[in-house]
Structure formats: C-alpha cells, structure tokens
Amino acid sequence: MSKTALITGASSGIGAATARTLAAAGYDLVITGRRTDRLQALNDTLENRYGIRVHVLGFDIRDRFQTESAIDALPARFRRIDLLVNNAGLAAGLEHIDEGDPLDWDRMIDTNVKGLLYITRIVSQRMIADGRGGHIINIGSIAGVQAYENGAVYCASKHAVHALSQGMRMDLLGHGIKVTEIRPGMVETEFSVVRFHGDRRRADDVYRGIEPLTGDDIASVVGWIVSLPPHVNINDIEVMPSAQANAYLTCRKEDESEQ
C-alpha cells in the first residue's frame, strides 16, 4: 500500500522539489498552495513521469477556515496522510524594526507560524485518529536559532517554528508520530525575490559570489529522512552551503569581471 504525503507551498522551490523527490520514492501526493496553475502543471508532470496519484489543493494557508475546509474535502483515497511537509513560508522586507512594514509582518507571522499551526492541527488529528503514526517535517531556517540585523520579525517567526517543532515532538510522541525540523541556510529559490517584493537585482545580490543550496538539495534531505527505519527519528538537522558558516559569515568569491 502506497503512502501519501501532503506538501504545503508546493508550487515552487523546496516544495516543488520535495514533491518530485517523494513522487520518485513512490508517494502519492497532496500538493497545496495558492498558485493552482503551477500546482496543476506539477501534478501532470508527476503523474505522467512516476505513475503516482496527485491531488491539487488551492487555498491560502493563512486562512484557517480555507485550510480546514480544503483538508476536510479531500477525496477518500487521499484522506490518510502519512507524511506532512510544512514547507509554506516566506520572508517579506529587510529593514530595521522601526522601519518595518506591519503588512509584511502580518504576512510572515500568518504564513510561517499560524498557517503551520492550522495545517498541523488538522493533519495530526487525522494521524492520531488513524492510529498508525505518521511523520511531520517542518522546513525551518537557520534564522530559527540565529537572529540577524534587519530580519527581526522573520527570525522571530522561524524561532517559533523551532520551538513548535520541539513541542510537537513531545506532544505527539505517545501517538507514534515522528517530528523533524530541517533548518537550511541560503537556498536560491523565489525566497529573496519575495522578500524584496519582486526586485530581482537585490535578490540576485544575496547569492553573489557563493554557490547556495538549491531546492533539490533540501528535497534530497527530506528523501533521506523518510527513508530511515521507523524506529529512527531525526529531531532536527541544519544544512548549509559550503561557503556559509552561519547566519552572519559567508565566504564570497570576488567577481572577476569587477577586478
């Protein structure tokens, strides 16, 4: 009997890469996000390439009622969720706290914290009722353990993910539900484009002079974690580009064109 994974924020980046990795491993998938056109294209690719079943859910994870209604309406063949990958998240803005935009703060807190809580609550209830355990993987960030200048609210939201992951591990222990947090460093996806409100020049400059991680790199970590025996749980794991030591220190190569 195949297993089913639900991946939030699956329309691009780490989420889409994770969908490809899990599809290759034989998982049926529920892929969620707001950009249903991208999700549908991914659905078609995965079903044709891997012969698995995929169900697309288009909703805004920041809205609790949308989230609960979407999960409640899942077709019978997708209602048993074995693996939840909480990937949906974003950064918005990069300013000192006194210059920050409260609308950006709302987007980050509502997505990174409240959205994760909404989907985790309803899926974990399903896992407990089913009585066969399960696995929840939260995509956190190095910002969840190291704050940095201009990123106070984003870092606070990812600190919350770190704390929630630890709390979930304890709360769900007796139900046989495993919980893992993955904390990536620099990953080149749409993350910085979103943070800088579409300014691609500023986004590209974030990764100037280094080779960052890719969505596929993080997806391969997810694939390894779920391949481990049932009695093994990775509580948390930090994954960095070779050129990045922590949230503050990177080793950038000089651009030869500027020499």
Supply the pLDDT for residue 157: 98
32-64 pLDDT, tens digit each: 999 999 999 999 999 999 999 999 999 999 999
Predicted pLDDT at 255: 63
Chain centroid to CA 47? 22
Residue 140, domain extent: 4-258
Task: Examine the pLDDT at 162 and tell me if it is beyond 80.
Answer: yes
Catalytic site positions: 154
Give me the pLDDT at residue 191, please. Answer: 81
DSSP state of 250: B
Burial (0-12, 13-18, 19+ Cβ within 10 Å), 187: buried
Structural domain total, the chain: 1
- Give the C-alpha separation, 244 to 87, whole Å: 22
Cα-Cα-Cα-Cα torsion 76, 114, 89, 4, nearest 10 degrees, comes to -20
State the CATH number of the domain containing residue 21: 3.40.50.720
pLDDT at 63: 96
pLDDT confidence tier of residue 257, bands split at 50, 70 and 90: very low
pLDDT digits (tens, 9 = 90+) for 122-157: 999 999 999 999 999 999 999 999 999 999 999 999
How high is the pLDDT of residue 254? 77
pLDDT at residue 117, rounded to an integer: 98
Q: Which residues pair with 182 in a beta bridge?
A: 139, 237
Per-residue confidence at 2, pLDDT binned at 50, 70, 90? confident
What is the arrangement of strands in the sheet containing 83-86, beginning at the earlier edge strand? Answer: 54-58, 28-33, 4-7, 83-86, 134-139, 177-184, 236-239
Q: Which pLDDT score is estimated for 199? A: 87
Q: Encode pLDDT of 67-121 as tens digits.
A: 999 999 999 999 999 999 999 999 999 999 999 999 999 999 999 999 999 999 9
Percent of the chain at pLDDT exceeding 70: 98
Report the C-alpha gap between 132 and 137 in whole angstroms: 17
Residue 123 main-chain phi, psi, to 5 deg: -70, -40
Q: What is the pLDDT of residue 1?
A: 65
d(CA 78, CA 130): 13
Helix, strand, coil: what percent of the chain each, to 5? 50, 15, 35
The predicted pLDDT at position 230 comes to: 96
Q: Give this prediction's pTM.
A: 0.94
User: What does the pLDDT look like over 183-240, one tens digit per residue?
Assistant: 999 999 888 888 988 889 998 999 999 999 999 999 999 999 999 999 999 999 999 9
The pLDDT confidence band at residue 175, using thresholds 50, 70 and 90, is very high
* Amino acid 258: pLDDT: 47
